[in-house]
Amino acid sequence: MTIHDFLRAKPTRVWLVLVAITVVSVVTAGGHGSGSRIGLVALVLATVKARFVGLDFMELRHAPRLLRTLFELYCVAIAGTLVVVYLVA
Amino acid sequence: METPRIRTTIEKIGAWSGLALLALFFVFFWLIADLVPPLDPGASAASISATYRDHHDRLTVGLALMVLFAPIVCGFIAALARQVRRVEGYWGVMSLTQILAGVIIPIGFIFPPVIALAAAYRPNADPDVTRALDDVFWLMFVGIVGTLVLQALILVVATFIDSSETPVFPRWFGYLNGWYAVLAVPGCAIFLFHSGPLAWNGIFAFWIPLVAFSGWISATTYVLLKAIGTEAS
Amino acid sequence: MIAPAAPSATARRIPGEEGTWVFLFGDMVVFGVFFTTFLIQRGHAPQLFDRSRQTLNLGIGLANTLVLLTSSLLVATGVRALRDGANQLARRLLVAAFGCGVLFVGLKAVEYTQKVHQGHGPGTNNFYLYYFILTGLHLFHVVIGLGALGFLIRQTGRPELTERRWMVVEGAACFWHLVDLLWIFLFPLLYLVS
């Protein structure tokens, strides 16, 4: 198999999505002034990216349910905490 | 030859003494002496002096009990070093280093409290003197982390080099110690900060290491009890 | 080379050893606490944090994000190549990932130098204090991760991996992905959100 066979796989598509999300978050949130709520978008997008890294790069998508659930809970917990703290603090 | 039951019991008491120290720390240091959260490193000499005067009784009783009872953790250190020795097969560098570094745990719960007790001993001393003693107390108590890290790193190595049929330490214990070693490090920065997360009352230097240390002592007690049980059978 | 633990399409299995996940989740939770602490501190001085944030070099931050994402892809692909016995290819991919890691450290060094030259040290204000602590801790992870990648690269020279060794290989790869995952949060927190 050549490198092309390996690159024509899911992780590469995931990488493209991750790069796209990164660019989107920089474009939307990068220039905002203080007090803006658009930073929330960047935080939520970061969690989406982190989830992709866990599921497809760390290969947790096919991990036993307990491990997969723990990771999903982590994503939910951290996104929830960051958003709440961002709004309240 | 079957290990005599009394020997196993003594080993297990040694292991339990780790958790016992943690429990006593919470009672003496936290509930009685009221020193958690720590005093503010940025506080004025007058306010530190006032704290030592106003909380004199609780503080002295709690810390004096800590000084008296801290040595019980020695049994834990001994049990831990014995299990590292089982990995090595003889009293090698790792098990002996584990003892040497482990000695600092009881010392860390004895010497700093004595210094705080000295501060409380003269309620009418110059506030600057009281605060200087208080500084030494916290800097010693929170800032000495190198030996804890060394202990953890030895346990990482001891876990992973063990290729026997029934390893002494489970592999997750090795990873746990790696994690703990990393978390213990920020305590070393307290000498440079008077406020913020790396001061002696900060989240990175005090709270997270406190949680990590509590978790480490609990997990190690559990692993030692298991290992002692396996060794006996 | 056939990896003993090669996953079938349906079987559920743990990447790496179980114990690795004690470490990985432990680290993720602690960094979660760090991120939350940072946002709480930001809440105390939003203007200061926002002003300070805008002095950061967004270009370097973005470049480093893309560098780490790419390195993660290279590692994930390298591990799959190793699994399929394409050791030469795996080696090239992993060496490239290692190069990305070194590039990250280099860009970070440039960024730190810039900051200090502009007079923004860790003592400047609370934002910079957290900026240096958080990125410093992460950099420490990157350095450990480079060690893990070095280990992976050496494994490509072995004709066969035992099951135990294969588990460690996956664990090391997951650690590198963790380095990426943590930066994914740090980048928006420090450069975008404040």
pLDDT digits (tens, 9 = 90+) for C142-188: 999 999 999 999 999 988 889 889 999 999 999 999 999 999 999 99
pLDDT of residue A6: 77
Q: Span C98-106, mean pLDDT?
A: 97
- Candidates C22, C30, C130; nearest CB to B208: C30
Question: For tokens 């834990």, what's the residue?
Answer: B76
pLDDT band at C92 (very low <50, low <70, confident <90, very high): very high
Q: Which residue has the tokens 């920020």?
A: B186
**C5-15 mean pLDDT:** 66
With CB atoms and an 8 Å threshold, state whether C180 touches A57: yes
pLDDT of residue B196: 87
Under-50 pLDDT residues of chain A: none
Specify the pLDDT at position A3: 77
Average of per-residue pLDDT across B6-32:
96
Lowest mean pLDDT among B152-166, C79-93, C114-128: C114-128
Of C28, C73, C89, the CB nearest to A3: C89
Q: Measure Cα distances from B190 to A77, B104, B186, B194 in Å.
A: 30, 18, 8, 8
Q: Output the six-digit token pair for C158.
A: 């072995």
Could you tell me the pTM of the whole model? 0.87
Residue B202 touches chain C, beta carbons under 8 Å? no
Is C36 an interface residue toward B (CB < 8 Å)? no
- The backbone region for B196, taken as left when phi is positive above 0, alpha when psi lies in -120 to 50, beta otherwise, is left
Rounded Cα distance between B62 and B34, Å, is 8
Q: How far is B170 from chain C (nearest CA, A)?
A: 8
| B22 pLDDT higher than 60 | yes
Residue A64: asked if its preceding bond is cis (omega within 30°), the reply is: no
Record the tokens describing residue B52, joined without a space.
Answer: 């030592």
What is the pLDDT at residue B30?
95
Pick from C15, C76, C188: CB nearest A43? C188
What's the Rg (C-alpha) of chain B? 19
Distance of alpha carbon C57 from alpha carbon C128, whole angstroms: 13
Chain A nearest C-alpha distance from C86 (Å): 8
Using an 8 Å Cβ cutoff, are A83 and A42 in contact? Answer: no
pLDDT tens for C15-74 read 998 889 999 999 999 999 999 999 999 999 988 998 898 889 999 999 999 999 999 999
Alpha carbon distance C157, C138 (integer Å): 30
- CB–CB of C39 and A70 under 8 A? no
- What is the chain C residue with the closest CA to A37? C193
| Whether B81 contacts B14, CB under 8 Å | no
Q: Select from C69, C182, C183 the residue whose CB has the most chain A CBs within 10 Å, as the one to mutate to test that interface.
A: C69
Which is it for the CA torsion A73, C138, B216, B190, positive or negative? negative
Contact (CB, 8 A) for B119 and B134: yes
Mean pLDDT of chain B: 95
Residues of C in contact with B173 (CB under 8 A): 19
- Binned at pLDDT 50, 70 and 90, residue C9 comes out as very low
- For residue C143, give how far its alpha carbon lies from the nearest alpha carbon of chain A (Å): 19
Residues C10, B176: Cα–Cα separation, whole Å: 30
Task: Classify each residue of A4-18 as buried b or exposed e, where b means 16 or more C-beta atoms within 10 Å of its C-beta.
Answer: eebeeeebeebbeeb
Whether B42 has its CB under 8 Å from any CB of chain C: the answer is: no
Q: Give B175→chain C minimum CA distance, Å.
A: 5
What pLDDT shows up at residue B5? 87
B206 touches chain C (CB under 8 A): no
Task: Return mean pLDDT, chain C.
Answer: 91
Chain C nearest CA to A73, separation (Å): 11
Amino acid at A42: A
Whether residue C157 contacts residue C90, with contact meaning beta carbons closer than 8 Å, is answered with no
* pLDDT for residue B2: 58
Residues C176 and C171: their CA atoms lie apart, in Å, by 9
Dist CA C118 CA C114 (whole Å) = 6
Answer for the pair C94, C78: CB distance below 8 angstroms, yes or no. yes
Report, as an integer, the average pLDDT of B205-233.
Answer: 95
Q: Which chains touch A (3 or more CB pairs under 8 A)?
A: C
For residue B117, pLDDT beyond 60: yes
Whether B172 sits inside 8 A of C27 (CB atoms) is no
Contact flag C15-A60 (C-beta cutoff 8 Å): yes
Tokens (6 digits) for B114: 């004595």
Chain C closest CA to B68's CA: distance in Å?
Answer: 34
Instruction: State the Cα–Cα distance between residues C105 and B74, nearest whole angstrom.
Output: 43
- The model's pLDDT over B223-233, given as tens digits with 9 standing for 90+, comes to 999 999 999 88
Task: Examine chains C and A and say if they touch (3+ CB pairs below 8 A).
Answer: yes
The pLDDT value given to residue A39:
82
Q: Based on the number of CB atoms within 10 Å of its own CB, is C152 exposed (0-12), middle (13-18) or buried (19 or more)?
A: buried
Burial of residue C48 (CB within 10 Å: 0-12, 13-18, 19+) is middle
Residue from A16, A26, A71 whose CB has the most chain C CBs within 10 Å, to mutate: A26
- The pLDDT, as a whole number, for residue B3 is 64
pLDDT at B17: 97
Tell the residue number behind the tokens 């000499």, with chain if given: B45
Contact C153, C95 (CB under 8 A): yes
The angle formed by the CA atoms of residues A75, A79 and A82, to the nearest 5 degrees, is 140
Q: For residue B199, what is the DSSP state?
A: S
Instruction: Determine the pLDDT at residue C2.
Output: 43
Contact C72 A53 (CB under 8 A): yes
A67 by DSSP, 3-state: which? helix
DSSP output for C109-156: HHHHHHHHHTT--TTS-HHHHHHHHHHHHHHHHHHHHHHHHHHHHHHT
Spatial contact of A23 and A45, defined as CB atoms under 8 Å apart: no
Q: Does the CB of C20 have a partner CB in chain B at under 8 Å?
A: yes
User: What pLDDT is recorded for position C1?
Assistant: 41
